[in-house]
Amino acid sequence: MTTAPYPDGAGYVRGRYVPIAEATLPVTDWGFTRSDVVYDVVHVFKGGFFRLRDHLDRFERSMEKRRIHPPEDRAAIEAILHRCVALTGLADAYVAMVASRGRPRVMGSRRPADCENHLIAYALPWIDVVPKDVQARGAHVFVASTPRVPDASVDPTVKNYQWNDLTSGLMEAHDAGFDTAVLCDAQGFLTEGPGFNIFVVRDGRVTTPDRGSLRGITRQSVLDLCAELGIEAAVEPIPRSALDHADEVFLATTAGGVMPASRIGTRILGNDRPGPISTRLKDIYWRKHDEGWHHTPVRYQLAEAGE
């Protein structure tokens, strides 16, 4: 669409569609003051959502676990996501759905049940967690000293904005000249990084952590591809020491897909380039996108609806 009204991004806030710069929250919203929010992100590739149903399923589970219930039902949320993309006219987009606790209906209340829950959604031009040029040479991944918040404190399967530990790890990585970071838990097992799952390849076998991690949609896509290709894969405990013996490491996220690494801490993997299994999975992941894998066409005609 060449005449889309909001090509820089579109938002849905308090029942209105607005340019992304106008998609704002009151400073008293608990989503802002307490990070009392759940969210999900789905990508649009060549005019279609990828695994939209799976993202909506996970978003619904997250809302239920945190007892956040905006007035929009699932069908309405899906329609809002379509219209946000339609208002941008983007063929490739980063699309978020957010459920916030909101503001208390009773001034000064500290009861979560007193808050007016609400939905926010927005679509932006495509975002890569690891830039494409870095993906091409392989990401340099720092193993942070900051431990991941315990699963018993913050459920990592509920996608949330509690990122203090992840952000601290990312600052460590940047201070040391790395592209990004991965965190371990207090027991020394691998968890995840800021916005991605991590995979370790050893002797042709692919593994990903069973703790401290979001059950990523792209993670599941990788596991599906491994099953299809006859590559042994498992979700299991991975000690920090496994990185010292890994043949390959790669990252996986909605915002970037399968992203190979070429360095992990002080180790240079292979020839300081993406490994063969990582590269194969990345290539097949995007090829299957081209073939229409889990593709839901964006309903661009919704941009014509009244503002």
Q: CATH number for the 132-290 domain, one of 3.40.50.1100, 3.50.30.10, 3.20.10.10, 3.40.50.300? A: 3.20.10.10
Which residue has 């399967």 as its token pair? Answer: 157
**Residue 74 pLDDT greater than 80, yes or no:** yes
Look at residues 147, 145, 159 and name the one whose alpha carbon lies nearest to residue 219: 159
Question: Contact, 228 vs 248, CB < 8 A?
Answer: no
Radius of gyration of the chain (CA): 20
In angstroms, the CA 178 to CA 303 distance is 41
pLDDT the model gives residue 3: 84
Pick the range with the lowest mean pLDDT from 34-38, 105-109, 166-170, 264-268: 105-109
DSSP 14-37: TTEEEEGGG----TT-HHHHS--E
In angstroms, the CA 138 to CA 169 distance is 19
Which tens digits make up the pLDDT trace of 221-247?
999 999 999 999 999 999 999 999 999
pLDDT the model gives residue 307: 47
The size of the chain, in residues, is: 307
Question: Contact, 269 vs 52, CB < 8 A?
Answer: no
pLDDT the model gives residue 306: 53
Q: What is the DSSP letter of 285?
A: H
Contacts of 301 (CB under 8 A, 6+ apart): 86
Which fold is adopted by the domain 10-127? D-amino Acid Aminotransferase; Chain A, domain 1 (3.30.470)
Name the token pair of 237: 């405990």
Phi, psi of 261 (to 5 degrees): -110, 155
CA angle centred on 58, ends 126 and 186, rounded to 5°: 90
Which tens digits make up the pLDDT trace of 100-149?
999 999 988 999 999 999 999 999 999 999 999 999 999 999 999 999 99
Segments of 2-125 assigned E as strands: 10-13, 16-19, 37-45, 48-50, 93-100, 118-125
Look at residues 80, 81, 60 and name the one whose alpha carbon lies nearest to residue 69: 60
In angstroms, the CA 211 to CA 228 distance is 25
Q: What is the DSSP letter of 274?
A: -
Is residue 294 helix, strand or coil? coil
Half-sphere exposure of 87 (CA within 13 A, CB side): 25
Question: Contact, 185 vs 216, CB < 8 A?
Answer: no
Residues of the chain with CATH 3.30.470.10: 10-127
Which residue has 């990312």 as its token pair? Answer: 170
Residues of the chain with CATH 3.20.10.10: 132-290
